[in-house]
């Protein structure tokens, strides 16, 4: 069994920092509650909503502190039982420097990993129906080679130039504020915190996302995928009908990229982690001709959901970090100062099957 070192002093510091943040937020929440009453009398409903969101942040910090204390208690118990000085062991600190990023296994099932690297490729060779590429059919219920995701380019422009100027004290202070915020919410919004940490590392490399969790956390996204599946399946049936197939026929298929927007109401984690992103579906469809003149065409779907997005900061927006209003311009300036770097979010879901009639 592998042993993982735990930096107990750093963990204690982490818990204490959350406790201090709790006290500050409690005071802020009390002030905002009073302000909300005044605003409600004045009829400023949007302002009241923002006040209530501060209360949510306080509860999230309380939960983060509670979970951190549980980890600390377990770590101290292990140290006592084994008589080991865990404070001097090889560790991954919970405070600066930020811990290294590892692929998120939640979206990397054994079946997904077996498909090989994630890449972009030209559309599937064959006919195109309503934005869906359909390959030449292969007779029978067989396994065909699934196409790679379609070629993708971001519509978002990266504002400013990386490392175009030297960092100043204000940049360094802002970096620490944003990094502290990322660590404070890592237990509540894990994917949002992970992506923000990767931005602050300034490496600029692609980062895999937990697409399976994204689908599970946002039913509206799953419903949109279902619509895309129906469009692709219909395109495969249209080609089979045009070719006059008389038995089961298998087609490799690829859909164009479609935009989906994760809103705060769906998931604050994914709203802050990615917001608007692109997805497509790739895989194979087995088409079955009708059994009679009045019968319907049937299909069996096997597919993955491809995901892409560009992690950058849109100018003209702002967000609340630890009670402070931080503009996207300020966070983007970290990139200009060489303290952070935009990157591309990638990955795909685990394979899934479905069936239907047209």
- Compute CA distances 305 → 41, 72, 248, 257, 321, whole Å: 48, 38, 24, 10, 32
Nearby residues of 277 by Cβ (< 8 Å), 6 or more positions away = 259, 260, 261, 262, 307, 308, 309, 345
More confident of the two residues 129 and 271: 271
Cα separation, 231 vs 131, in Å, equals: 9
Mean pLDDT of 247-263: 93
Quick one: which of 250, 310, 323 has its CA closest to 58? Answer: 323
pLDDT 10s digits, 98-111: 344 444 444 443 33
User: What is the pLDDT at residue 172?
Assistant: 85
User: What is the pLDDT at residue 350?
Assistant: 92
More confident of the two residues 100 and 318: 318
Q: What are phi and psi of 260, to 5 degrees?
A: -130, 145
Parse the chain into domains and list their residue ranges. Answer: 8-88, 108-357
Cross-strand partners of 299: 287, 356
- Compute CA distances 296 → 4, 12, 241, 288, whole Å: 58, 65, 11, 9
Longest dimension (CA), the chain: 78
Query: Is pTM beyond 0.85 here?
Result: no
Q: Is residue 343 a contact partner of residue 199, using CB atoms and an 8 Å limit?
A: yes
Mean pLDDT of 58-75: 69
Quick one: which of 155, 152, 143 has its CA closest to 118? Answer: 152
Instruction: Give the DSSP H/E element, type plus range, for residue 154.
Output: none
């Amino acid at each position: 069994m592998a042993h993982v070192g735990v930096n107990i002093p750093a963990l204690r510091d982490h818990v204490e920092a959350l406790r201090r943040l709790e006290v500050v937020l409690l005071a802020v929440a009390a002030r905002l509650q009073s302000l909300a009453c005044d605003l409600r009398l004045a009829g400023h409903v949007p302002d009241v909503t923002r006040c209530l969101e501060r209360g949510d942040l306080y509860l999230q910090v309380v939960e983060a502190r509670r979970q951190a204390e549980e980890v600390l208690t377990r770590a101290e118990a292990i140290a006592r039982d084994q008589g080991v000085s865990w404070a001097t062991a090889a560790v991954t600190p919970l405070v600066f420097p930020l811990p290294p990023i590892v692929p998120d296994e939640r979206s990397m099932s054994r079946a997904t990993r077996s498909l090989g690297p994630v890449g972009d490729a030209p559309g599937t060779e064959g006919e195109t129906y309503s934005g869906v590429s359909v390959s030449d059919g292969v007779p029978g219920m067989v396994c065909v080679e699934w196409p790679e995701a379609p070629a993708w380019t971001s519509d978002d422009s990266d504002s400013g130039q990386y490392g175009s100027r030297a960092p100043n004290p204000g940049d360094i202070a802002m970096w620490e504020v944003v990094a502290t915020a990322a660590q404070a919410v890592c237990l509540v919004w894990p994917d949002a915190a992970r992506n923000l940490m990767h931005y602050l590392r300034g490496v600029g490399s692609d980062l895999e996302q937990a697409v399976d969790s994204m689908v599970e956390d946002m039913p509206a996204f799953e419903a949109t995928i279902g619509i895309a599946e129906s469009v692709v399946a219909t395109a495969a049936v249209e080609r089979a009908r045009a070719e006059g197939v008389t038995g089961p026929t298998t087609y490799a298929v690829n859909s164009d990229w479609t935009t989906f927007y994760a809103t705060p109401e769906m998931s604050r984690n994914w709203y802050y982690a990615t917001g608007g992103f692109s997805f497509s579906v790739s895989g194979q469809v087995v088409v079955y001709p009708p059994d009679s003149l009045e019968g319907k065409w049937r299909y069996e779907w096997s597919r993955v959901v491809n995901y892409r997005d560009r992690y950058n900061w849109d100018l003209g927006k702002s967000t609340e970090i630890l009670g402070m209003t931080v503009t996207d311009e300020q966070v983007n300036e970290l990139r200009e100062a060489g303290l952070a770097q935009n990157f591309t979010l990638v990955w795909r879901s685990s394979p899934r099957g479905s069936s239907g009639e047209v």
